[in-house]
Amino acid sequence: MVKIKFPDGNVKEYDEGISAIEVAKNISPALAKESVIAKIDGRLTDLTAKIDNNCELKFLKFSDEEGKDVYWHSTSHIMAQAVIRLFPGTKVAIGPSIEQGFYYDFEHEPFTDEDLEKIEKEVQKIIKENQKFERKVVSREEALEFFRSKNEIYKVELIEVLPEGETISMYTNGEFTDLCRGPHLISTSSVKKFKTLSTSGAYWRGDSKNAMLQRIYGISFPSQEELDMFLKIREEAEKRDHRKLGRELDLFSFHPEAPGIPFYHHSGVIVKQLLIDYWRYEHNIDGYQEIQTPQLMTKSLWETSGHWMNYKDNMFVTEMEETENALKPMNCPGGMLWYKSKLHSYRELPLRVSELGHVHRKEFSGALTGLFRVIAFTQDDAHIFMRADQIKDEILGVIRLTDRIYRTFGLEYSLALSTRGEKYIGKLEDWEIATEGLRSALEEYGQEYVINEGDAAFYGPKIDIYVRNALGKAWQCGTVQLDMNLPERFDLTYIDENSDKKRVIMIHRALYGSLERFLGIILEHFGGFFPLWLAPIQISVMPVSDRFNDFAKEVMDKFVSEGFRVDFDERSEKIGYKIREAESVKRVPYMLVIGEKEKDTGVFTVRQHKKGNIGEFDLDSFIGKIKDERNRRVLPEGYKLEL
C-alpha cells in the first residue's frame, strides 16, 4: 500500500502501482474528466504514471497555467502529426506551447490558407482516433539512430549536443513520434476544440544564418465556448494593435533610415508629454528629485558598473579622442555618479531620485515589435538611496505610487517576489535583510502576491509588477529591485549619526517601464479612445456650413482659453461625414455641431464618442463638466471588452 497526501491535507491509502488517473477516478469521475496532468511530489507527470511510493499528489486542470501548458504542447504534437500525414517528407523542428496556444516549425514550402484548413480537418480526425500518448525513455544513441532513420535532421541536431550516456524521453501517438520530455495528455481525444491561427517564416533556432522554416500557430480548448471567447478577444486585439492605431491616430511612425526608433508626430508628442507630466505630478507628491545624466559616457564608467564585461554586445560604442565611449543602455551608472558628487548624511536619507533617461540598446531586427521592442526608448527610472531600517517603508511607498499610477489608467496589476538564486553576490545576512524588507512591505500592503523562488537577479531580490490590460493581456512593467552590487562597486556611502561611513542601500525602480512600451500598452488598452485628459484632440467643433465659421471659431477660442485641445473642422463636407471621421478615425471624446440654433440660443447638442448625443449644454456648463472630467482623469466608458 502507498499513502497519498492531497492538497486539502487528507491522506488516503491505495494499492502500490496505482496510476494517477485511477486515483482521480476513485475520487470522482468529474475530477478524472477535468484533470489534464498530475503533480507528484511537486513534479509534473503523466496521468498514466504509476505511484509506487508514499507521495503528495495534485491534479491540474486546463485552468491551471501548468495544465494549460501541457494541453497546448500535446496539441502541437497532434498538429505536427497532421502535417506529416498531409505533406509526407516534411521535416519537423520544435513545437512548444506559448502564452496563447502553441506553434510548430517545419521544413516546408510556405503554407497557404487552404493548407491550414486541411491541417485543421486532419487534426480533428486524429482527435477522434483517440490515440494514446505513450512515453518511452531511450539512450542518446538509440534516439539518434531512430531520428536518423527518419531523416529528421533537426531532431538529430538537438540530440547531438547532449552528452554521451544521456537518456532521452520520446512520446508516440499513432504513427507520430517526437523528441519530448513531456508530460502529455492521456490521449488525443483529451483535446476537444482546435483551430489553426496563422503561419509565418521563422529561422531555425532564431538565427538568420540558419534555414528558414515555416511556423504554424494553433490553439486548443476543452470547450467551444472557450474557443469562441479566445477568437473574440483575438479579433478585438487585432483591431487594437498599437501599430495600426498609431498610424490611424497619426501618433508615430517607423522608417528604415532609423530602424527600431520611433518618429513621434505632433499628436504622439502631445500624448507622450502628457504621460511625462502626469508621471512628474505623482513623483512630486512623493518627494522625488528629478535629475538628468549624460547619454554618452566613457568606457571606464561601464567597466566600474560591470556592463562592459557583461552587456557590451548590447551597447552602442564609439571612440572620441582615442577614448572609447558608449551610449547608455540604462540610467543606473549615471545615477551612481550623481550620488557620489557630494557627501551625504543619514539625515538626508531616503533620497528618492528619478530620471526620464533616453537609452539605447542593440536589438536584432527580427525582435523589433512596434513600440513594444525598440532600440531607443525613454526609461522612467528612479533610484532610492536609504538606510537598512528604511527598506520596508520605501518599498511600501513605491507600491502605493505604482497603485495610484496604474489605477489612473484602469490597469489591474499583480505582484511577485523573486528571492535569491544559486548565483549571488554579497553577504547572506544582507540578502536576508533585503528579502525580509520586501516581504514585510508586501505583507503590510495586503495584496496577494506570489513568490518566485530563486528568480532574483544576482545582485538583489526584487518585486515584479504585472499589469493586465482591457483584453486580459499581461505585461511586466513595474519592477522594484534591491541592489547590493552597484553601491559596492561605486563605493556609495553616507555618514551616520556617529560620523562613520556606512554603505548605502539602493532600490532601482521603474513604473511605466519605458514610455514607448507603456504608450503601446495603453493604446491597445483603450483601443485608441483615450480618456479626455490624455486625448491629443479633446473636442471637435464642426460648423454645418461656412456661414457659421466665425461663430464656431469663437466657440473654439473659448475652449482653447480653458486649456483644451480643439480640432476646428471647417471643411465643406457633410456634417455626417465630419462626425463619423471625428468619432471613428480621430477618436475625439466630444463633438459640437454648430448651426443656426446654436448660434441663436447659445445652447449646444453635445456628442460623446461611443455614446452619441448626451444632451444640450450652454457653453459654460459644458466647459465646467469637461474640466471636472479632465482634472479627475476620468476613465472612458466602454474601453473594456465585455467578456
Q: What is the pLDDT of residue 85?
A: 97
Tally the domains of the chain: 4
Let me know whether 595 and 490 are in one domain: no
For 456-477, what is the mean pLDDT?
Answer: 86
92-118 mean pLDDT: 95
**Length of the chain as a residue count:** 643
Query: Are 51 and 14 spatial neighbours (Cβ–Cβ below 8 Å)?
Result: yes
- Residue reference for cell 505533406: 87
**Mean predicted confidence (pLDDT) in 129-154:** 95
Q: List pLDDT tens digits, range 172-199.
A: 999 999 999 899 999 999 999 999 999 9
**Residue 132: pLDDT over 70:** yes
| Predicted local distance difference test score (pLDDT) of residue 530 | 96
Q: Is residue 241 part of a domain?
A: no
Residues 399, 258 within the same domain? yes
Q: What are phi and psi of 542, to 5 degrees?
A: -130, 100
Residue 214's nearest CA partner among 195, 194, 198, 190 is 198
Q: What pairing do the DSSP bridges indicate for beta strands 193-203 and 323-327? A: unpaired
361-384 tens-digit pLDDT: 998 777 788 999 999 999 999 999
Q: Give me the pLDDT at residue 364, please.
A: 78
DSSP notation for 83-128: HHHHSTTPEE----EETTEEEEEEESSPPPHHHHHHHHHHHHHHHH
CA dihedral 638, 639, 640, 643 (to 10 degrees): 60
Q: In terms of pLDDT, which residue wins out, 205 or 122? A: 122
Residue 199 backbone dihedrals phi, psi, to 5 degrees = -140, 150
Phi/psi of residue 181, nearest 5 degrees: -85, -10
Cis peptide before 88 (omega within 30 of 0): no
Q: What is the pLDDT of residue 471?
A: 83
The answer, yes or no, to whether residue 452 has pLDDT greater than 60, is yes
Q: Residue 430: its pLDDT value, please?
A: 81
Residue 433 scores a pLDDT above 90: no
pLDDT at 460: 84
Please report, for residues 403, 416, 418, 502, 510, the alpha-carbon distance to residue 451 in angstroms, rounded to integers and kept in the order given: 20, 6, 6, 31, 20
452 is a domain residue:
yes
Q: What is the pLDDT of residue 82?
A: 98
Burial of 631 (0-12, 13-18, 19+ CB in 10 A): exposed
Q: What is the pLDDT of residue 642?
A: 66
Residue 469, pLDDT score: 85
Per DSSP, 47 falls in state: T
Are both 182 and 205 inside the same structural domain? yes
Q: How many Å separate Cα 464 from the centre of its chain? A: 12
pLDDT level of residue 248 (50, 70, 90 thresholds): very high
CA 446 to chain centre: 24
User: End of a domain among 474, 493, 526?
Assistant: 526
386-409 mean pLDDT: 94
Residues 553 and 463 in one domain: no
Amino acid type, 174:
G
Residue 562 lies in a domain: yes
pLDDT at 639: 81
E strand residue ranges, 496-588 = 501-503, 505-510, 539-543, 566-568
Q: Print the domain residue range for 555.
A: 532-631
Q: What is the pLDDT of residue 641?
A: 72
Residue 482 counted as domain residue: yes
Indicate if 92 and 22 belong to the same structural domain: no
How would residue 421 be classed by pLDDT, with cut points 50, 70 and 90?
Answer: confident
pLDDT at 99 over 90: no
Q: What is the CATH number of the domain that holds 113?
A: 3.30.980.10
State the chain's mean pLDDT as an integer: 93
Check residues 348 and 476 and name the one with the higher pLDDT: 348
Q: Rounded to 5 degrees, what angle do the CA atoms 459, 465, 471 make?
A: 145
Q: Say whether both 219 and 157 belong to one domain.
A: yes
Q: Which residues of 257-271 are buried (b: 16+ CB within 10 A; e: fewer)?
A: eeebebebbebbebb
**Residues acting as catalytic residues:** 332, 361, 379, 381, 383, 462, 508
Cβ atoms within 10 Å of 496's Cβ, excluding its own: 14
Residue 320 has pLDDT above 90, yes or no: no
- Domain shared by 385 and 521, yes or no: yes
pLDDT at residue 643, rounded to an integer: 57
Q: Taking the alpha carbons of 527, 531, 533, 535 in that order, is the dihedral positive or negative?
A: positive
d(C-alpha 586, C-alpha 250), whole Å: 9
pLDDT in tens, 335-359: 999 999 999 999 999 999 999 999 9
3-state secondary structure of 370: coil
Region 483-490: mean pLDDT is: 88
Give whole-number Cα distances, 538 to 160, 243, 520, 585, 627, in Å.
61, 22, 20, 13, 11
CA distance 217 to 199: 6
Q: For residue 409, give the C-alpha cell.
A: 489608467
Query: Domain check: are 83 and 176 in the same one?
Result: yes
